[in-house]
Amino acid sequence: MTDEAALPRIGDVDASPPQEAAEVVAEIAEDAPLGRMLIALDIDGTVLLEDESFSPGVVDAVREAQDAGHEVMLATGRSWDSTRTVMERLGIHPEFAVCSNGAIVMRRIGGADATDYERAHVETFDPTEVLTLLGEHLGDAHFLVELPDGQRLFTDYLDDWNLQGANKVAFAELSHQPVCRVVVVAPEKTDQDFLQLVERIGLSQVSYAIGWTAWLDIAPQGVNKSTALELVRERLDIAPENVLVMGDGRNDIEMMQWAVSHGGRAIAMQQGPPEVHEAAGEVGLSVTEGGVAAILRAL
């Protein structure tokens, strides 16, 4: 694994002298691809702080990037309802939004001033096997599934979940139909516990991402933010080298690898885990320090 200390930290005054940090930001500005860019931002830990307030400067920086002609969009594990709320708070209505870790791509209906969206691409899978396995090993966990139409079913209430419009059901009912996403939260577990559990029981025919804390996010096999963003990039006819992605979590790793491998750039938030830093290759300021705003203003 790459030595985390060797990775460039954009604007990180704690890890490098101020002058060095300023030089790195200047290099980004100088090397930024010409023309319209596709800028895909994660939400939690990237655009939003833990208390749901915005990262410093991000609202103005996103607006300035849009005014400059770039396509600024969100790529998140959140459901569409929750994603749309954040977009409205940001004051943006991009042509596309990637939700549910790539299982759902929303497309704006109408012109640039329109605010209505439709499901342009939906991926589903049969959750029976994975729910059976996890239910056997995580009997006290909280489970939620998202259906293709956006409806959500859950087993137990959690403060961190936006359950407006969701329905509480028995665990067995979660497997009655194909789903876009399965979310598992076990408050007594750590992210390392989940990593070990997934390795031990083996999760086949699905894609998964393990969060900072005790949550596991499961999507259809081969589906993640990168697969959805490639669909968006092709629809928008934006060159791969004109892609910029930013995120902080393990569910951002694939989109970072995708961007970098195609000549674009990926920047990890400083508070992200080492494997996210490695996937991006560039590390910015933390979400509390306004990492997104610093990068967007350097373009």
Summarised one tens digit per residue, pLDDT across range 29-60 is 455 445 899 999 999 999 999 999 999 999 99
Per DSSP (E only), the strands in the chain are 38-41, 71-74, 96-99, 104-109, 116-122, 142-146, 152-154, 167-168, 181-185, 206-210, 215-220, 243-247, 265-268, 281-283
pLDDT confidence bin for 239, thresholds 50/70/90: very high
Q: Is the pLDDT of residue 24 over 60?
A: no
pLDDT confidence bin for 256, thresholds 50/70/90: very high
Q: What gap in Å lies between CA 56 and CA 181, rounded to an integer?
A: 31
3 burial via Cβ count (<10 Å: 0-12, 13-18, 19+): exposed
Question: Which pLDDT value is given to residue 7?
Answer: 45
State the Rg of the chain over Cα: 19
Q: Mind listing the pLDDT tens digit for each residue in 119-144?
A: 999 999 999 998 998 899 888 899 99
Question: Which pLDDT value is given to residue 1?
Answer: 39
Q: Mind listing the pLDDT tens digit for each residue in 194-203?
A: 778 877 877 7
Question: 73 φ, ψ to 5°?
Answer: -135, 170
Beta-strand relationship, 265-268 and 243-247? parallel
> Treating both helix axes as pointing N-terminal to C-terminal, what angle do 128-137 and 191-201 enclose, rounded to 10 degrees?
120
CB–CB of 299/37 below 8 Å? yes
pLDDT confidence bin for 191, thresholds 50/70/90: confident
Question: Which pLDDT value is given to residue 206?
Answer: 67
Which pair of tokens denotes residue 108? 């704006």
Domains of the chain listed by start with CATH number: 4-122+224-298 (3.40.50.1000), 128-220 (3.30.1240.10)
